Amino acid sequence: MRRFTLLVAIIMALVVPQVINASNGVTYGPSASAFSIETNESAQQVKLRIYKAGLGGKPVKTINMKRNAAGSTLWQASVKGDLQGMFYTFDVKYGGKFMGECPGIWATAVGVNGHRGAIIDMVNTNPQGWSADKRPNIAAKDLIIYEMHHRDFSIDESSGIQHKGKFLALTEPRAIDHLKSLGVNAVHILPSFDYASVDETRLDEPQYNWGYDPVNYNVPEGGYSTDPYKPEARIREFKQMVQALHKAGIKVILDVVYNHTWNIDGSNFQRTRPDYFYRKNADGTYSNGSGCGNETASEREAMREFMVESVNYWVEEYHIDGFRFDLMGVHDIETMNTIRAALPQDIFIYGEGWSAGSCAIPNEQLAMKANISRMPGIAAFSDEMRDALRGPWNSNSKAAFLGGVKGNEESIKFGIVGAIEHPGVDYSKVNYSKAPYATEPTQMIAYVSCHDDMCLVDRLKASIQGATIDELIRLDLLAQTVVMTSQGVPFMLSGEEMLRDKQGVHNSFESPDSINHLDWGNLERYPQVMEYYKGLIALRKAHPAFHMGSADMVRRNLDFLPTENCLVAFHINGRNVPGETWGDIYVAFNTHKRARTIEVPDGTYTIVCRNLKCDLTGITTVTAADGKVTVPAQSALIIHN
Ligand code: CA
């Protein structure tokens, strides 16, 4: 008898491999599939249902799952037969009531709209050559991030891309060549896990959403696949996208939204472990630090574990290179540090170091921007530099540095050094942070626009009355020069290189394609913009002086020239920067409508950036005979000897 049990155990171990997460999900085996789910202690019963389709129809089997051991919160079932291509749901009973069917929190494949888990063999989802796919080796200090939405990028006819609005768009030469030509080396894709707001059964109709409404965290979104009814399609196509980008030397960063879910009542979290995953206020109401009606409780053991295992899963299964944490300030510091420690060092991690409302745990424990120094290896967006350039976040029409408004200079300088401690910055005059928050410059994301708020041209139009197109372009190029010469990690919104506009819409999360689409025709209409961006990115990549990557080096080698209203200038001693071929480098930003001068030692300098041109091989030379060089009106200037 005993020998028989042992034999069964051995056979089961052979045919039923371990589930990726021991506490939730399904593991497919050709002769049996194993199911498991973790519940709260008070769970009374768990029903497992097997279906032929991802939507509709009656279950072909209903199984009462069994506790792993008496009193255990782990429920298991093994179902004999080859279930490949079938679907499943769990339904957990609490207080005499079933919570409703769901795929659990650990589905790695789902049917249309993510209502049911899918039973597939993940090996079949790997594109050809997938085992040879490797994450490109690019250090954090060398990253140039391009933030994009699948639909924005390719949906317009002018894109010339075949798979419009799909993962596969990024496998096409037209897309890859554009990104390579621009020079970016990381794409940050807006939420690409399965989200709720696009109905995958109606993809023949135009539907748009950014996707900050998570349903299944560990499955790609069906709306971006060619067939959301086929569970393998979205997985394979996502991998094809990663593979194509990696071949082009471009990293793939996933925008992850663990801080809240689409809803509470119907969420997979709530249906499996009611109230465990969400924070509550003292009065028993749900806390809403996300501004979306709920906030998750990263400080709880199973939520923390879920986040750690989820990001690890994306790295292992999909070869993801980095994560951008939406409202990272809703998560606790310990969780972010646990995630950092659990991921390979080359995985880049950054996030929004703020929340959208007050959270139910104290700010000192939260992964806020001000606490970044307690999270080594994790970066936060700098709203200091962004708002000092374009204007404050709480207004769509107030101008700042770009609009010729004085008083933003120290905030620009704060962004130039990468939010680290630097003797040349007067922190008392910085707009938000009155102290450096980063220990290393790679802990700050430098940017002037992202999917949130107006894109750059719209903001310039809204904040500078009567600006001509020439002026808009000058200021646009100037703004990105500040970003690309920052010691932080530069980040740009997709389409800025095409002088994208969103017709003034500042929160376009569900706006139609006519607002959100990139108009690739602008590449011909305003070729000087793409040319300048290319030149600027090439300049940054070729010159380590602009991305030293170490706070000590920045403090030693970068010094500011005297600050004047609407004029910020700095010098880098390139001789002390390993790998740098330039000697003295001077960078100046002048947002006056008239030319200004900066003081430099006498000598001849090569101009690499001025007015509408940026070319690292040199535009012309300038001789400073009286210790001065001119910075044209509304222009950046970069010179070196
Ligand atoms: Ca979906």
Tell me the C-alpha distance between 326 and 304, whole Å.
16
216-229 confidence digits (pLDDT tens): 999 999 999 999 99
What is the share, in percent, of the chain residues with pLDDT greater than 90? 96
User: What is the pLDDT confidence band of residue 625, given thresholds at 50, 70 and 90?
Assistant: confident
Q: How many Cα neighbours within 13 Å face the side chain of 393?
A: 14
486-509 confidence digits (pLDDT tens): 999 999 999 999 999 999 999 999
Paired tokens of 75:
């429920």
Q: Give the distance (Å) from ligand 1 centre to CA of residue 91.
A: 20
Q: Give the distance (Å) from ligand 1 centre to CA of residue 200.
A: 6
Tell me the C-alpha distance between 36 and 27, whole Å.
9
Paired tokens of 334:
């310990």
Neighbour-count burial for 255-287, b at 16+ CB within 10 Å, e otherwise: bbbbbbbbebeebbbbbbbbebbbbeeeeeeeb
Instruction: Spell out the residues 6+ positions from residue 3 whose beta carbon is closer than 8 angstroms to its own.
Output: none
The predicted structure's pLDDT at residue 96: 98
Contact 54, 116 (CB under 8 A): yes
The predicted structure's pLDDT at residue 617: 97
Neighbour tally for 30: CB within 10 Å: 11
The dihedral over CA atoms of 569, 539, 480, 153, expressed in degrees to the nearest 10, equals -170
User: What is the pLDDT confidence band of residue 339, given thresholds at 50, 70 and 90?
Assistant: very high
The dihedral over CA atoms of 430, 337, 352, 288, expressed in degrees to the nearest 10, equals -120
User: What is the pLDDT confidence band of residue 23, given thresholds at 50, 70 and 90?
Assistant: low
Q: Give the distance (Å) from ligand 1 centre to CA of residue 511.
A: 18
The predicted structure's pLDDT at residue 142: 98
Q: DSSP strand E in 179-290: where?
A: 186-189, 193-195, 214-220, 251-256
Helix axes 527-542, 469-484, angle to 10 degrees: 10
Q: Give the distance (Å) from ligand 1 centre to CA of residue 493.
A: 24
Q: Give the distance (Å) from ligand 1 centre to CA of residue 221.
A: 5
Whether the predicted pLDDT of 636 surpasses 80: yes
Tell me the C-alpha distance between 463 and 634, whole Å.
15
Q: pTM here?
A: 0.95
For residue 200, what are the β-bridge partners? none
70-83 confidence digits (pLDDT tens): 999 999 999 999 99
Mean pLDDT computed over every residue of the chain: 95
Average pLDDT over residues 16-26: 55
Rounded (5°) CA angle 529-530-533: 85
Paired tokens of 361:
């745990």
Q: Give the distance (Å) from ligand 1 centre to CA of residue 306.
A: 20
Q: Give the distance (Å) from ligand 1 centre to CA of residue 529.
A: 35
Rounded (5°) CA angle 522-523-527: 110
Q: Give the distance (Å) from ligand 1 centre to CA of residue 628.
A: 59
The predicted structure's pLDDT at residue 611: 97
Q: Give the distance (Å) from ligand 1 centre to CA of residue 377.
A: 32
Whether the predicted pLDDT of 15 surpasses 50: no
Q: Give the distance (Å) from ligand 1 centre to CA of residue 519.
A: 26
Tell me the C-alpha distance between 65 and 104, whole Å.
14
Whether the predicted pLDDT of 385 surpasses 70: yes
Q: Give the distance (Å) from ligand 1 centre to CA of residue 196.
A: 5
Query: Given 352, 383, 410, 497, which residue is catalytic?
Result: 352
User: What is the pLDDT confidence band of residue 2, given thresholds at 50, 70 and 90?
Assistant: very low
Q: Give the distance (Å) from ligand 1 centre to CA of residue 517.
A: 20
Whether the predicted pLDDT of 279 surpasses 70: yes
Neighbour tally for 502: CB within 10 Å: 21
Average pLDDT over residues 470-479: 98
| 352 given a catalytic annotation | yes
Helix axes 456-463, 383-390, angle to 10 degrees: 50
Q: Give the distance (Å) from ligand 1 centre to CA of residue 114.
A: 6
- Give the residue ranges of DSSP H helices in 299-408: 301-318, 333-342, 383-390
- Torsion sign over Cα 287, 290, 295, 298: negative
DSSP 3-state assignment of 451? coil
Contact 389, 400 (CB under 8 A): yes
Whether the predicted pLDDT of 133 surpasses 50: yes
User: What is the pLDDT confidence band of residue 115, given thresholds at 50, 70 and 90?
Assistant: very high
Query: Given 200, 326, 410, 615, which residue is catalytic?
Result: 326
Whether the predicted pLDDT of 149 surpasses 50: yes
584-605 confidence digits (pLDDT tens): 999 999 999 999 999 999 999 9
Q: Give the distance (Å) from ligand 1 centre to CA of residue 115.
A: 9
The predicted structure's pLDDT at residue 102: 98
CA 639 to chain centre: 33
Whether the predicted pLDDT of 347 surpasses 60: yes
Look at 24 and 251; give whichever has higher pLDDT: 251
Average pLDDT over residues 171-184: 98
Whether the predicted pLDDT of 18 surpasses 80: no
Host H or E run for residue 31? none
Helix axes 231-247, 173-182, angle to 10 degrees: 40
Q: Give the distance (Å) from ligand 1 centre to CA of residue 266.
A: 14
